[in-house]
Amino acid sequence: MKQYMRQILKLALGFLVMSSALTFVLFSIGKLRVNTEHSELLDRSYSNALRARTLFLITPTVNRYGQLAHITRLANTLRQVENLHWIVIEDGNATNPNVEAQLNRSKTKYTYLFAETNRTTLLKGRGVEQRNLAIDYIRSLKPKDGLVYFADDDNSFDLELFDVLRRTKYCGVIPVGLLAQLPFEDIDVVDDKVVGFFTIFGFDRKYQIDMAGFVVHVSAFYKDPVPKFYRTVMGGRLESDFLAQVVNDPSELEPIARDYDRVLAWHTKSENREAWTVDRIKSLYPDKWKRARKLIV
């Protein structure tokens, strides 16, 4: 009888242990599911908060062969982007009705302005008057938050770029593909700080970045003096001169796309050119490009 009771007691204890273990497993699974759902909810909330930030895209354009094709391609991209204000500035003494018709069809929030280029100088900087007019227009709106990005009409953009741009606190920088013979230009980053730039020209520039390679918070345009582009600056150096008015040192730039292994913005142009490989560039500029990564272009 005693032996029979001991067997029953062992079975009962075994059942209790198994029940406790099962309860713990079920509880852990439920907790994991709740934590996962909470994490996903936070991710969605973060993404929604980012997308609530207005993006002001400044696009200078000029009446030329292919203008409407470039505007159409860019419009088809931007119509898919939330909370975006596209500011298009025609180089001339009036707007172009064909461009305005395409802007209307895009269903994108836009403002279409015009400003004629001062062609009395031989300096090659382009889009100066047009970008400055757009900056003045944004200042007139007095936004408290928002980001300003310079998107030339012949550039190409991945839709993910616009979420990446919204990560910016003050002045963000990204790699840009297809510049001259380069497959891309990039930023040299050490310990999350910008320490240099991967390019093959204009090494004396303080900020060796393409116009499509940076984004600026609207608060920068409430400084005195207001950051602007200047006709007295040579072409190819407009970006560096402008950024020198926004930040004091390259270390203040934010490498907002370092978690991407591919380019999100391309300096596309309708011309034939031979692109160099990263290995070739490293062989030509071993010190400059020694830490350069290989991006998918």
43 marked as part of a ligand binding site: no
Contacts of 110 (CB under 8 A, 6+ apart): 85, 86, 87, 88, 103
CA distances from 297 to 178, 179, 185 (A): 8, 11, 11
Taking the C-alpha atoms of residue 276 and residue 241, their distance in angstroms, rounded to an integer, is 27
Q: Which residue in 90, 129, 185, 239 is the catalytic one? A: 239
In Å, what is the CA distance from 246 to each residue of 67, 79, 118, 219, 265? 31, 29, 25, 10, 22
Contact by Cβ (8 Å): 17, 9: no
- Backbone dihedral angles phi then psi of residue 94, each to the nearest 5 degrees: -165, 165
**Cβ neighbours of residue 294 closer than 8 Å, sequence gap 6 or more:** 278
Active site annotation includes 239: yes
Which residue numbers belong to the known binding site for Mn(2+)?
Answer: 154
The set of catalytic residues is: 239
